[in-house]
Chains A and B, each alone.
Chain A
Amino acid sequence: MDRVLGDKKTILMLLGPALLVYTLVMLVPVLISLGYTFFEGNAITGFSFVGLDNITRLFHDPDVRHALWFTLKYAVILTTLQVALGYGMAILYVFALKRGSGVVRTLLFFPVVLPTVAVALLFQKFFEIAPQTGPVNAILNSLGFASVDWFGDAGHAFVVLILMDLWRSAGFYAVLLYAGLVDIPEEMLEAARLEGAGTLQLIRHIVVPLSMPVLLSSLVFSINGTLKVFDSVVALTNGGPGSETTPLTLYMFQTSFSYGEYGYGASIALMLTVLCLLFTIFVFRSSRRDVTES
């Protein structure tokens, strides 16, 4: 039996294609990209060896510092808000709407399946000031406020960006966390209620600790996505005004393809990868400490 289950030829036939594509198109390019960090130039002009120049340049480039700061600010704020909002919605589904939450869940999940580019264009027009006055400015006007040029400065553009990505993703995290919450045994909640626990106490002492694992996987998932933000920014602000809303991903893209600096682009990509790794490890480590403390 082991001979058949371990048949080398069959394993090769089944695993071969996937492993080949994955190796050639993911693993090897990652290694080549690491190699690029020591070079300057691009595919058309050729490469020349520059040693660690690209890495040193990373630490002195004010644009990188700005893009890094923007990425971190965006990632931390959006991850916090989207997981918190999703958690709130999940609690609403499980404890307030109970069995009847199906339709609401489906409707609030709508934005998740929509293409980011389409949503970004929609939000651009929704917050527009001229030539047409979008609904948001129309509401401001009817309340007696002046219209706001939402894409005219970094602060306002950032607010629209965060609002848009919350709109897009809250429904997803709600469903993800909902799956964790429905697994909490009904008897446990009933027992706590009989002991006289109020809704808030119930949430704090029973629901949150019991849903910790799924909450943590949501955080890891979310931070890995928000650090890599690209579509939303490109389609909503294209990094502007100026380069005020440019994250690392977009800066890497511009450096590589607008300026043809592959070596430096690869260095920025490496920085992004390290960032994702660090944050994932950070979330996992802090979770382990929580578990051992309690």
Chain B
Amino acid sequence: MATAFVSRFARQLPVRLLVLVLLVIVVYPLVWLLLGSFKTQDEFLNGSTWALPQHWQFSNYSDAWTTGNLSTYVRNSVLTVGPALAFIVLFGVAAGFALEVMVWKGRNAVLLTFLLGIMVPGQMILLPLFTSYFQLGLTGTLWPLIITYTAIGLPLTVFMMATYFRAIPREIFEAAVLDGASMLRAFFSIGFPMARNAVFTVALVQFFFLWNDLLIALTFTNTSDLRTIQVGLLNFTGEFGQTEYGPLFAAICINVFGCLALYLFLNQKVMKGLAGGAVKG
């Protein structure tokens, strides 16, 4: 009995070690980052990199938030990603419904056109958009970001929602129509609520995608007041003149652990959504 247990343990040992190594590689840098965000400049330059913070300097966080302008950057990110996400979901779900539930000529061609957009690199649309926003006088506001984000998020959203509506029997909507509802009513009272889980997954994927974007944000933010959190973080050292390790680490921490908290909170739905999408693709 004991030997059986020992041999089973020995057999599983390599696997356990491997998992342990993987976990350390993934988790340790994050722990190091978190500990670093409480250290003083002196501890960074003269102390051991493995050491714990001597006297936890919480002011790093307030420095990052105020002197480092992180509050402005977070506000800008929220003000662009929020509206863009709302537009993407509303337009994308409606389009998916029109393309899959409604019956008309040419809908496959339109769906295919949307699909093409998934592959086109952002670089392909930057220059004409930059010119147009400049001519329309939108430069200097957050509108170029909101508009571009909406357009970039649409192809995947339309595609995923069309795939979702394909699986719903059309009879449900036909029954609603027989009961006297218009198709518009059928969409808002039946289609949209039914797709709630799929909408949630799509919105989440798009949120992380837009929140983490650098290319679009870097192109259309010409002043420091307009910087999103990623652009702000990229220029963070400049706010202090030299590398202030504590505030920099605190700023990275706010960005990293904010995303992590959101992910953990919504974890199960993300995993389910990813797995569902992968099988279909």
Contacts and interface: CB of A to CB of B under 8 A. Distances in A.
Say whether A and B bind each other. yes
Interface of A: 1-2, 4-8, 10-11, 13-15, 17-19, 21-22, 24-30, 32-33, 36, 42-44, 89, 92, 96-97, 104-111, 113-119, 121-123, 125-126, 131-135, 138, 167, 171, 175-176, 178-180, 183, 214, 217, 224, 227-228, 230-231, 234-235, 249, 252-253, 256-257, 262, 265-266, 268-270, 272-273, 276-277, 280
Contacts of A115: 211-212, 229-230, 233, 255-256, 259
Contacts of B127: 29, 32-33, 36, 256, 262, 265-266, 269
Contacts of A230: 122, 214-215
Nearest to B158: A18
Interface secondary structure of B, over-half rule: helix
A113 B120 contact: no
20 contacts: A5-B103, A10-B184, A11-B104, A21-B87, A25-B125, A25-B129, A26-B117, A33-B128, A113-B263, A114-B255, A115-B259, A121-B248, A122-B252, A122-B256, A131-B243, A179-B274, A217-B281, A228-B122, A234-B234, A269-B123
Interface in B69-119: 87, 90-92, 94-95, 97-99, 101-104, 110, 113-114, 117, 119
A184 to B, nearest CB: 12
A253 B119 contact: no
Interface stretch (B17-25, B52-60, B194-202): B17-25
A48 B126 CA distance: 19
Contact of A43 (B92, B135, B255, B259): B135
Given A113-B208, A176-B274, A18 B215 contact: no
A32 B128 contact: yes
A118 B255 contact: yes
B48 interface: yes
A70 to B, nearest CB: 16
B239 interface: no
B166 to A, nearest CB: 15
A21 B154 contact: yes
Nearest to A115: B212
B113 A27 contact: yes
A131 B131 contact: no
Contacts of B138: none
A14 B94 contact: yes
User: 6 closest Cβ contacts across the A-B interface?
Assistant: A25-B151, A18-B95, A32-B128, A29-B128, A14-B98, A29-B125
A234 B212 CA distance: 13
Contacts of B117: 22, 26-27
Given A13-B184, A18-B92, A43 B134 contact: yes
Contacts of B68: none
A14 B95 contact: yes
A117 B49 contact: no
A175 B274 contact: yes
Contacts of A44: 134
Contacts of B264: 106
B18 A180 contact: no
Interface of B: 15, 18-19, 22-23, 25-27, 29-30, 32-33, 36, 44-45, 48-50, 87, 90-92, 94-95, 97-99, 101-104, 110, 113-114, 117, 119-132, 134-135, 147-148, 150-152, 154-155, 158, 170, 173-174, 177, 182-184, 187, 208, 211-212, 214-215, 218-219, 229-230, 233-234, 236, 243, 245, 248-249, 252, 255-256, 259-260, 262-264, 267, 271, 274-275, 278-279, 281
A276 B184 CA distance: 39
B26 A132 contact: no
A123 B32 CA distance: 11
A97 B173 CA distance: 44
A234 B154 CA distance: 26
Nearest to A269: B123
A80 B221 CA distance: 35
Nearest to B135: A43
B114 to A, nearest CB: 7
B33 A117 contact: no
Given A43-B130, A171-B26, A276 B121 contact: yes
Contacts of A252: 123
A22 B151 contact: yes
A225 B255 CA distance: 23
Contacts of B170: 5
B22 A89 contact: yes
A114 B229 CA distance: 13
Contacts of A22: 113-114, 117, 151, 154-155
Given A7-B182, A167-B29, 6 more contacts: A30-B120, A92-B19, A104-B19, A115-B211, A115-B212, A125-B245
Contacts of B126: 253, 256, 269
Contacts of A118: 230, 233, 252, 255-256
Nearest to B87: A21
A122 B30 CA distance: 9
B121 A96 contact: no
Nearest to B43: A132
Contact of A114 (B234, B243, B256): B256
B179 to A, nearest CB: 12
A25 B26 contact: no
